[in-house]
């Protein structure tokens, strides 16, 4: 069994599962997925949230797991919605966030992957992507804030990209590629 195949990705988000599955598949690694909601703590630090969640997932499944936590940090809003991006999306929606953003439209999408139970310590991998908040939603792919986030170096929102293209640009793609690089140190081109 290859190192990646020992791992189970635990999530309640089918979009995340799809994106991470595609990244693993590009390395010919089959991804095990377990759909479940893990406990998340309140923290402004995604790594701390992911660490606790991975412990919770491991305690439940008792096999090597990883979780991923992400958030959109809008500069002008002191990082809001940050770690609570999903809650804010489900209450205020994209319109609510657009109403709050003014002149400075800079934002960073951050992702943290935490692996627990594979080696004798937790492993953390982070991925950030800078960009701007679009004036209005565009695109039908992805989920969450994808329709209003334009990564630097692209004219498209994340929701105007296919899964493969989003993975090339996205915070999550970056974090998961670091995990894959760690798992398969000899594959230089991940």
Measured over the CA atoms of residue 39, residue 7, residue 113 and residue 115, the dihedral's sign is positive
Is there binding between residue 153 and a second copy (CB under 8 A)? no
Among 14, 59, 96, 162, binds a second copy (CB under 8 A): 96
- Residue 141 Cβ vs a second copy, minimum distance, rounded to whole Å: 25
Cis peptide before 36 (omega within 30 of 0): no
- Of the candidate spans 1-9, 12-20, 77-85, 104-112, the one that interacts with a second copy by CB under 8 A turns out to be 77-85
Cβ contact 36:97 at 8 Å: no
* Binding string, residues 126-145; x marks residues near a second copy by CB under 8 A: --------------------
CB atoms within 10 A of CB 17: 18
Considering only 20, 31, 88, 161, the residue that binds a second copy (CB under 8 A) is 88
41 vs 164, beta carbon nearer a second copy: 41
Assess whether the previous peptide bond of 81 is cis (omega < 30° from 0).
Answer: yes
Residue 99 binds a second copy (CB under 8 A): yes
* Residue 69 annotated to the active site: yes
> Nearer to a second copy by C-beta: 49 or 179?
49
Question: What Å distances lie between residue 94 and 6, 83, 88, 155, CA to CA?
Answer: 37, 16, 9, 19
Spatial separation of the C-alpha atoms in residues 112 and 172, rounded to whole Å: 8
Q: Residue 36 corresponds to which tokens in the numbers above? A: 């479940």
Coil, strand or helix: which one is 106? strand
Q: Please give the residue ranges that form the binding site for a second copy (CB under 8 A).
A: 39-42, 44, 49, 77-80, 82-84, 87-88, 90-92, 96, 99-100
Active site residues: 69
């Amino acid at each position: 069994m290859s190192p990646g195949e020992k791992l189970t990705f635990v999530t309640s988000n089918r979009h995340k599962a799809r994106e991470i599955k595609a990244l693993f598949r590009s390395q010919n690694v089959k991804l095990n997925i377990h759909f479940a909601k893990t406990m998340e703590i309140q923290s402004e630090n995604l790594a701390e949230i992911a660490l606790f969640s991975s412990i919770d997932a491991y305690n439940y499944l008792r096999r090597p797991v990883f979780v991923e936590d992400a958030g959109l940090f809008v500069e002008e809003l002191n990082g809001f919605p940050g770690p609570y991006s999903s809650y804010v999306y489900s209450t205020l929606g994209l319109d609510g966030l657009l109403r709050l953003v003014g002149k400075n439209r800079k934002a960073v999408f951050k992702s943290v992957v935490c692996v627990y139970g594979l080696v004798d310590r937790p492993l953390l991998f982070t991925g950030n992507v800078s960009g701007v908040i679009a004036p209005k939603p565009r695109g039908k792919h992805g989920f969450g804030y994808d329709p209003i986030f334009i990564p630097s170096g692209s004219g498209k929102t994340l929701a105007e990209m296919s899964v493969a293209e989003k993975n090339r640009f996205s915070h999550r793609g970056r974090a998961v590629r670091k995990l894959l690089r760690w798992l398969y140190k000899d594959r230089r081109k991940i």
